[in-house]
Amino acid sequence: MSMKQTARKKAPAVAPKRQRKMLTIAEKVGLLDMLKEGRRYAVRYIKKEENNIRTTAAISFNRDAKRFVTVRNKTIVRMESALALWISDSRKKNIPLDTNIIRTKAKKLYETFADSEEQDDAEPGSSKSAFHAEPSPFNASKGWFDKIQQRFGLKSVSLHGEAASANTAGAEAYVNKCKVIIEGGYKPDQVFNMDETGLFWKRMPSRTFIMQDEAKASGFKAQKDRVTLVMCGNAAGFMIKPGLIYRSKNPRALKNKNKNALPVYWMHIAKAWMTKVLNLDWFQHYFIPEVKRYLRGKGLDFKVLLLVDKAGGHADDLSYDGVQIEFLPPNTTSLIQPLDQGIILAFKALYTRNTLQHLVEAMDSDQDFSLKAYWREYTIASCLQNIQRAIHEMKTETLNVCWKKLWPEAVHNPTGCSLDEIHHSAVDTAVNLAKQLGGDGFNDMTLDDINALIDAHSQPLTDEDLAEMTKPPSEDDGEEEEEDTSVDKEEEDGLTLDRLATMVRMATERQRAAQEWDPLMFRSLQFSNIIKGGMSVYKNLLAQKKKQCQQLPITMFCTRKKTPAPRPSEEKDVTAERRQDKEAPSEEL
């Protein structure tokens, strides 16, 4: 008995307490979006704090934070986020910084944001939010600077004078270090460099009448046409499909477009800026799969060296089996980073030329051409086409030669494929295209105008840019983002059987017209062969859809016609007719 009693008194084993996982702000925003789509999760607390979470995510540079910031003065939070963006951008562009410069910039940004918020509150019909208290004086003290330096991980910000613009010693030392790493068993096909750059995808030289008209328009915002382009290539001259960060997920211009079949890897965030979350997403879901396919096709092992700069939006915890990540020393990108040795600049020159070419082609094919009208119709879909054309013009030899400073042994022809020649040729052509368009600012377009437009992509962020990029979400954001959330059932499948048949018929008509009207038969035959080759993919798709339709039961294409209910005065006659139909003898065949 005593043994049984002792056994009963023994305390039961206590299971170890499950550790609670803290979601990041970005993960919480993702859950909120899924809730809006109808998916349910046990996240009532997150749903309850939706306004706070979304506000913090919108104005905070650090989207990896696990808690939203509840402070009375949101102007400081916004200013700090803008300051972090500015520091990251300045570092990338080799602009010298020190503690005094940063603290002065912080005070200026705070005053700018506080003034703009006071003006918004003073507008008729506006009411002050509970979040925004009266702005208190902000001194950017040394203690504040130490805290923000820790909060955003801003290390080594004390860069002085000329040392920031050209870290020659650091670049030379890293070239030797990189050589040792590469000699560990890497081939040119296995060594990659990634860099991102801002692109004003819908912009012309400032003197042109279309840009002056846009600047005068109410609600004009300088950063609305900015996207971030993520470029990555290897020392052998291969470039993976670029990534593009846009400000909305589903712009109307890409309605019914398969995002996985675009000429870019599509990413989105409200401010179109690279963050650590997006950087990790690009690395895991885009870089790794494509590089695996590439190396498999080359018959090489998945052993990769990825070189990146230490920008604020780059995650420092990227890892994958078989991939070694190397960060370039501060302020060496202009000296040794391969993509900064003329590739990005040449791409922007080609993109600018392609944009003007797009307008000239529209003018040549439309007798009622209006430059203003076509510029309004220049959408992000048009931008993607011109990006693809510019990337395809980058030859393997051109991409290979940009590695001559970091890895000269990998370059096949150091003296050939001058990137400067590509840049100058694109600028010259752009000037001629502008003069073909005509109009104020186009007729007298100069090389300096085009170069200034290209350089604008690399200019430091202005206070106006930072204000727009850190603006909290508002009710008008949906219209500005041109987001398309509707589902048009009739247009859900873009390439229907009827549309494919129409495309094939129109192509055939153009072939026939060329053969009948062109007096030079060899030219019309050349045109016809090009059309025939280009349409083969759609003809095959049309044949597949026809075959699928033949295999489906005929009842799927029939709709039952509903007989309208008879009116009371006609009900008796209808009943009599049905009775007569039943009594009538069947007709023999």
pLDDT digits (tens, 9 = 90+) for 101-146: 888 999 999 988 888 776 665 555 554 444 444 556 788 888 888 8
Sign, Cα dihedral of 93, 96, 98, 102: negative
Asked whether residue 264 falls in the same domain as residue 350, the answer is yes
Q: Examine residue 84 and state whether it is found in any structural domain, yes or no.
A: yes
Helix, strand, or coil (residue 126)? coil
Asked whether residue 93 falls in the same domain as residue 181, the answer is no
HSE (side-chain half, CA atoms, 13 Å) at 373: 6
Q: Which of 469, 502, 532 is the last residue of a domain?
A: 469
What single string gives the DSSP state of each residue in 2-63? HHHHHHHHSPPPPPPPPPPPPPPHHHHHHHHHHHHTT---S-HHHHHTHHHHHHHHHH-S-T
Sign, Cα dihedral of 339, 342, 348, 351: negative
- Is residue 399 within 8 A of residue 343, CB to CB? The reply is yes
Q: Examine residue 566 and state whether it is found in any structural domain, yes or no.
A: no
Asked whether residue 203 falls in the same domain as residue 113, the answer is no
- Cα-based distances in Å from 569 to 574, 579, 580, 581: 10, 17, 19, 20
CA dihedral 153, 158, 160, 163 (to 10 degrees): -50
Asked whether residue 116 falls in the same domain as residue 170, the answer is no
Q: Examine residue 535 and state whether it is found in any structural domain, yes or no.
A: yes
Asked whether residue 211 falls in the same domain as residue 115, the answer is no
Q: How many CB atoms lie within 10 A of CB 81?
A: 23
**Count of domains in the chain?**
3
Q: Examine residue 558 and state whether it is found in any structural domain, yes or no.
A: no
Q: Which helix (H) or strand (E) holds 327?
A: strand 323-327
Residue-range definition of the domain harbouring residue 524: 494-553
Q: Examine residue 16 and state whether it is found in any structural domain, yes or no.
A: no
- Give the amino acid at 174: Y
Asked whether residue 97 falls in the same domain as residue 122, the answer is yes
Q: Examine residue 544 and state whether it is found in any structural domain, yes or no.
A: yes
pLDDT score for 181:
94
Sign, Cα dihedral of 57, 60, 61, 65: negative
Asked whether residue 388 falls in the same domain as residue 460, the answer is yes
How far apart CA 292 and CA 109 sit, in angstroms, is 45
How far apart CA 480 and CA 482 sit, in angstroms, is 5
Asked whether residue 136 falls in the same domain as residue 172, the answer is no
Phi, psi of 229, rounded to the nearest 5 degrees: -105, 130
pLDDT score for 311:
80
Quick one: which of 391, 455, 135, 421 has its CA closest to 263?
391
Asked whether residue 464 falls in the same domain as residue 377, the answer is yes
Asked whether residue 230 falls in the same domain as residue 122, the answer is no
Task: Supply the angle between the helices 74-92 and 99-122 in degrees, to the nearest 10.
Answer: 130
Helical H segments across 251-317, by residue range: 276-282, 288-298
pLDDT score for 21:
61
HSE (side-chain half, CA atoms, 13 Å) at 199: 31
Q: Examine residue 488 and state whether it is found in any structural domain, yes or no.
A: no
Rounded CA Rg of the chain: 31
> Tens of pLDDT along 549-582?
776 665 555 555 555 555 554 444 544 554 555 4
State which residues of the chain have pLDDT below 70.
1-72, 118-136, 152-166, 215-223, 416, 473-493, 551-589
Q: Examine residue 355 and state whether it is found in any structural domain, yes or no.
A: yes
Asked whether residue 90 falls in the same domain as residue 235, the answer is no
Q: Report pTM.
A: 0.71
Asked whether residue 135 falls in the same domain as residue 184, the answer is no
- Render the burial of 313-347: b for 16+ CB within 10 Å, e for the rest: bbbeebeeeebbbeebbbbbbebbbbbbbbbbbbb
pLDDT score for 475:
42
- Give the amino acid at 451: N
Q: Which long-range contacts (CB under 8 A, 24 or more apart) does 390-395 make?
A: 390/347, 390/350, 390/351, 390/354, 391/239, 391/242, 391/263, 391/347, 393/350, 393/422, 394/239, 394/343, 394/346, 394/347, 395/237
- Cα-based distances in Å from 306 to 73, 247, 407: 41, 27, 14
pLDDT score for 234:
97
